[in-house]
A and B are shown apart, each in its own frame.
Chain A
Amino acid sequence: MALNEDQPRLGCGRIIDDVWASIDQPPTVHEQTCPDCQSARLALHQLEAVAGSLRERDRDDPALQPGLRVKEAIMMVARAEVRRSRRAPLATTALGVIDISEQALSGLIRFAASTLPGVRARRCTISSTPGTPQSAPAAVDAGNVRITLTVAIASGVRIPATMDLLRERINAVVQAQTSITMQQIDIIVEDLYDF
């Protein structure tokens, strides 16, 4: 029993949709010799040209462009999806689990660092394993959070004393916000800037 009996076929037995699906490809061996397919391809080429022309016109039609609200909604989702990264569990209550995304934690650390005069936070990587940033584990171990933070500092700032203050500030802010106590805070001063 033949399948797709409800779909129009060419004289050679091929379904027209199959010819259409490969209209942008060079003709197959069969199509090179089959008059039905050659005729169909010629007709479909014209249709493809018209369809392509309509697509191009729609692309530039101001009435068909997404509005600002739509674009903003898409960007809001995109940013939120980025934030849905690895998570660190903070508490388990009678109702369920409370956790924080790695992105949120990283942003908090950079914010905490930037509250110190003369310090500009740059990259922050979070790890639960000494020495190496985590590559892909599903969750951050909240009981064993180790970070590496790169910063630029103002020239003239005393680096050792500032690093001590920076560690205290990061630990205090993260503790107050999340109850996480950092196990290790590595800081790399990678740049100096002028006031």
Chain B
Amino acid sequence: MTSDQSLRASAVDLEALADTLSDALAAHPGVVRLEPTVRSVIDRWTPAAIDQMHRTLRPAARPPVVARDGLVLSMTDLVLTLQIDLATDIRRSALELAQEAQDLAGRLVQDAGLTIGSIDVTILAIEGARTP
């Protein structure tokens, strides 16, 4: 496998892992939402072809970065760095919830066979729960 193929494969793996993390964290009790970023919204709007073009044009040395709402994953040499931005339900302790989110993400990253560099969590809002 060439380094370019390896890079592309790891980027694909990150996409799948980002989706898994996004679904699991959003469903975690007490998480009101994962806060969107400019990057995650643009990525959502960008057609796959343009995304692929960006990936192709990206310099080989640059680590792959994948974003979802409230999530930024970057990987270097199979070591994953993850940033999570949360809005939490005021009926739960925000700090405890952030720790739970961190632990949950850690388990999912390990299940994916990746090494954890760091998982940082930022509480961006503490709000009332969503009404069904």
Q: Complex Cα distance A93/B116, Å?
A: 13
Residue from the set B90, B116, B119, B123 with the largest chain A CB neighbour count within 10 Å: B123
Distance between A169 CB and nearest chain B CB, rounded to angstroms:
14
Q: For residue A100, which residues in chain B have a CB less than 8 angstroms away from its CB?
A: 94, 122-123
CB <8 Å contact, B36 and A77: yes
CB <8 Å contact, B99 and A91: yes
Q: Is A7 engaged at the interface, CB distance under 8 Å to the other chain?
A: no
CB <8 Å contact, A178 and B36: no
CB <8 Å contact, A96 and B99: no
Using A73-B41, A95-B103 as known contacts, say yes or no to A178 and B95 having CB atoms under 8 A apart: yes
Using A80-B37, A107-B125 as known contacts, say yes or no to A97 and B90 having CB atoms under 8 A apart: no
CB <8 Å contact, A96 and B121: yes
In the complex, the chain B residue whose C-beta lies closest to that of A70 is B45
Q: Could you count the A-B residue pairs with CB atoms below 8 Å apart for me: how many are there?
A: 91
Q: Complex Cα distance A177/B85, Å?
A: 16
Q: For residues 66 through 102 of chain A, which have their beta carbon under 8 Å from a beta carbon of chain B?
A: 73-74, 76-77, 80-81, 83-84, 87, 90-91, 93, 95-101
Interface residue count for A (Cβ, 8 Å)? 28
Distance between B62 CB and nearest chain A CB, rounded to angstroms:
22
Q: Complex Cα distance A178/B118, Å?
A: 21
Q: Is B112 engaged at the interface, CB distance under 8 Å to the other chain?
A: no
In the complex, the chain B residue whose C-beta lies closest to that of A94 is B106
Distance between B75 CB and nearest chain A CB, rounded to angstroms:
15
Distance between A112 CB and nearest chain B CB, rounded to angstroms:
10
Q: Complex Cα distance A174/B14, Å?
A: 36
In the complex, the chain B residue whose C-beta lies closest to that of A82 is B124
CB <8 Å contact, A111 and B90: yes
Q: Interface SS of chain B: helix, strand, loop or mixed?
A: mixed
Using A80-B36, A95-B116, A96-B118 as known contacts, say yes or no to A90 and B98 having CB atoms under 8 A apart: yes
Q: Is B11 engaged at the interface, CB distance under 8 Å to the other chain?
A: no
Q: For residue A108, which residues in chain B have a CB less than 8 angstroms away from its CB?
A: 90, 94, 126
Q: Is B38 engaged at the interface, CB distance under 8 Å to the other chain?
A: yes
Interface string of B60-82 (1 = CB under 8 A from A): 00000000000000000000001
Q: Is B102 engaged at the interface, CB distance under 8 Å to the other chain?
A: yes
Q: Complex Cα distance A53/B63, Å?
A: 44
Q: Is A183 engaged at the interface, CB distance under 8 Å to the other chain?
A: no
Q: For residue B105, which residues in chain A have a CB less than 8 angstroms away from its CB?
A: 95
In the complex, the chain A residue whose C-beta lies closest to that of B70 is A80
Q: For residue B118, which residues in chain A have a CB less than 8 angstroms away from its CB?
A: 95-97
A binding-site residues for B, Cβ under 8 Å = 73-74, 76-77, 80-81, 83-84, 87, 90-91, 93, 95-101, 103-104, 107-108, 111, 176-179
**Can you list 30 A-B contacts (CB < 8 A)?**
A73-B36, A73-B41, A76-B36, A77-B36, A77-B41, A80-B35, A80-B37, A80-B85, A84-B85, A84-B122, A90-B123, A93-B99, A93-B102, A95-B102, A95-B103, A95-B105, A95-B106, A98-B123, A99-B121, A99-B122, A101-B122, A103-B125, A104-B94, A104-B125, A104-B126, A107-B125, A177-B93, A177-B94, A177-B95, A178-B94
